[in-house]
Structure 1
Amino acid sequence: MAPLTRLLVLILLLTGCSAPDGDAGTTEERTIGDRTYRLYRPASLPDGPAPLVVMLHGGAGSGRQAQETYGWDALADREGVLVAYPDGLNRAWAVSGECCGAPGRDGVDDVAFITAVVADVPGADPARVYATGISNGGMLAYRLACDTHGVFAAIGPVAATRTGDCPAPDPISVLHIHGDADRTIPYDGSDGKRDVVIEGPPIPELHAQWQARDDCAPPSVTVDGSVTRSIADCASGRRAGLITVAGAGHQWPGSAAKPGAELLLDLDPPSSALDATAELWAFFSST
Structure 2
Amino acid sequence: MSFRNPPGPVRIAGARRPAAMLALLVGLTAPAACTTDPAGGRSAPTPSVGTSEHTLSVDGRDRTYRLYRPASADPVRPVPLVVVLHGAAGTGEQAEEAYGWTGAADRDGFLVAFPNGLNRAWAVGPDCCGAPARDGVDDVHFVTELVAGLGRNLPVDPTRRYVTGISNGGLLAYRLVCDTTLFAAIGAVATTSLGQCPSPAPTSVLHIHGRQDQTMPYDGGPGRRDNGGTGRNPVKIDGPPTPELVARWRTVDGCAAPTVTTAGTATRTAAACAQGRHVELITIADAGHQWPGSRPNPPVAQKLLHLDPPSTALKATDTIWRFFQANPKPAGG
Normalised TM-score (structure 2): 0.78
The counterpart of 1:31, out of the listed 15, 31, 55, is: 55
Shift of 1:260: 3.9
Any idea what the Cα deviations from partners look like across 1:146-181, whole Å, max 9, x if unmatched?
Answer: 0002x1000111001000110000010010110000
Aligned residue number for residue 313 of structure 2: 273
AA in 1 matched with 2:156: A
Change (3 A) 1:267 1:251: closer
Report if aligned partners of 1:262, 1:268 keep a CA contact under 8 Å in 2. no
- 1:1-287 to structure 2, matched below 5 A, reads 4-5=12-13, 17=26, 25-33=49-57, 34-46=62-74, 47-121=76-150, 122-149=154-181, 151-194=182-225, 196=227, 197-258=236-297, 260-261=299-300, 268-287=308-327
Which protein has the larger Cα radius of gyration, Structure 1 or Structure 2?
A: 2
Any idea what the Cα deviations from partners look like across 1:41-77, whole Å, max 9, x if unmatched?
Answer: 0012235011000000100111111111110000000
Question: How many residues in Structure 1 have an aligned counterpart in Structure 2?
Answer: 279
Q: Distance in 2 between matches of 1:262 and 1:28?
A: 24
Normalised TM-score (structure 1): 0.90
Any idea what the Cα deviations from partners look like across 1:112-144, whole Å, max 9, x if unmatched?
Answer: 110111111122111100000000000000000
Q: Distance in 1 between matches of 2:192 and 2:303?
A: 27
Q: How much is the aligned-residue C-alpha RMSD, in angstroms? A: 2.5
Any idea what the Cα deviations from partners look like across 1:202-239, whole Å, max 9, x if unmatched?
Answer: 00000000000100001121100001111110001111
Report if aligned partners of 2:127, 2:133 keep a CA contact under 8 Å in 1. yes
AA in 1 matched with 2:214: R
Report if aligned partners of 2:265, 2:313 keep a CA contact under 8 Å in 1. yes
Gaps of 5+ in 1: none
Give the fraction of aligned pairs with identical amino acids, expressed as a percent. Answer: 58
SS in 1 for 2:26: coil
AA in 2 matched with 1:273: A
Gaps of 5+ in 2: 1-10, 30-48, 228-235, 328-333
Q: Distance in 1 between matches of 2:124 and 2:81?
A: 22
Change (3 A) 1:108 1:44: same
SS in 1 for 2:208: strand
Any idea what the Cα deviations from partners look like across 1:16-55, whole Å, max 9, x if unmatched?
Answer: 63677xxxx5111122111111110001223501100000
Report if aligned partners of 2:12, 2:88 keep a CA contact under 8 Å in 1. no
Change (3 A) 1:259 1:111: closer
Q: More helix by proportion, 1 or 2? A: 1
Change (3 A) 1:98 1:217: same
Q: Distance in 2 between matches of 1:137 and 1:145?
A: 13
Q: 1 or 2 for the larger relative contact order (CA 8 Å, sep ≥6)?
A: 2
Which deviates further from its counterpart, 257-266 or 160-169?
257-266
Report if aligned partners of 1:27, 1:39 keep a CA contact under 8 Å in 2. yes
Change (3 A) 1:43 1:220: same
Shift of 1:194: 3.1
